[in-house]
Amino acid sequence: MNLPEVRGKLLLNEPLGPYTWFRVGGAADALFIPADADDLAGFLKTLDPAVPVTVLGVGSNVIVRDGGVEGVVIRLAGRPWAQVTAEGDTITAGAGALDSMVAKASAKAGIEGLEFYAGIPGTIGGALTMNAGCYGAESKDVLVSAWGLDRRGERVDYALADFGYTYRHSEAPADIIWVEATYRGTPADPAKVQAKIDEITSRREQTQPIREKTGGSTFKNPPGHSSWKLVDEAGWRGRLHAVTGGGAKFSELHSNFMINPGEATAADIEGLGEAVRADVLEKAGVQLEWEIKRIGRRS
């Protein structure tokens, strides 16, 4: 695989497990951490169109399979990708900015409406891709516009309406690598905004296994149902799937969160999810849909 010259980091056969919250998975054929948007654009323009490209954020909502990822994995990490600025009632954030940092910036600027981002363990790029949300709010409620680069390295601009957002879904092409987003909230007392963020943070700490090796919400909520309740009623809360030690399981604290309590493999974790999907379908007649993204080759 011939790769273009870059200013950022380009690592061959780089293990991806350390870049994910589950701490599992094989290596990327190549991992590219671009220095900035120009570096990324130049790379994409020169890269052979036949080479697969996969974007990895902070790895909070993804399973990297044990066989690794073909082609180039792009990770938008570092200060150039994480800038957050406020002006008036708007917040502009880089795709590599943590959702929680955007929430904190909105509080500091006295902008209400983005507090829910304090409860999402990911980056703005991922939030744009899946219309991330929690506690009754979604990205579509506050997003104004975003821009990114397509597979050819050309800039594309999207207004909110262009995304075609529905629940955890966007109609935007999957090959767009988001670079920056602009949000609009409502002017408010910074202390009031911070108090809401503190409430969300406290609630999350009490109800989610955030200090475990986890991937966040495993399944989307089917219409008229709560995934956690379906998993719970099927008897999977806290139940190990693998016979040997280190197997994956659903958390005792929140039954829609899978965790890696020991040395589970990606196959253990994905296999658990598929077993639960089949069991819930048989017992409740409801098809659970993955919210966690699974990427790469099975070993």
Phi and psi at residue 274, in whole multiples of 5°?
Answer: -70, -35
Q: Is 211 a catalytic residue?
A: no
Q: Is 270 a catalytic residue?
A: no
Catalytic residue among 168, 184, 203, 239: 168
Long-range contacts of 73-77 (CB under 8 A, 24+ apart): 73/14, 73/16, 73/28, 73/30, 73/31, 73/32, 74/32, 74/33, 74/34, 74/40, 74/177, 75/19, 75/31, 75/32, 75/33, 76/33, 76/34, 76/40, 76/123, 76/125, 76/177, 77/33
Catalytic residue among 112, 138, 270, 291: 291
Quick one: CA dihedral 223, 224, 226, 230, positive or negative? negative
The answer to whether 93 and 84 have CB atoms below 8 angstroms apart is yes
Q: Is 168 a catalytic residue?
A: yes
Helix, coil or strand: residue 32 = strand
- Candidates 6, 73, 16, 11; CA nearest to 40 is 6
Quick one: CA dihedral 59, 62, 66, 69, positive or negative? negative
Catalytic residue among 139, 217, 227, 255: 217
Indicate which residues carry an active-site annotation. 168, 217, 291
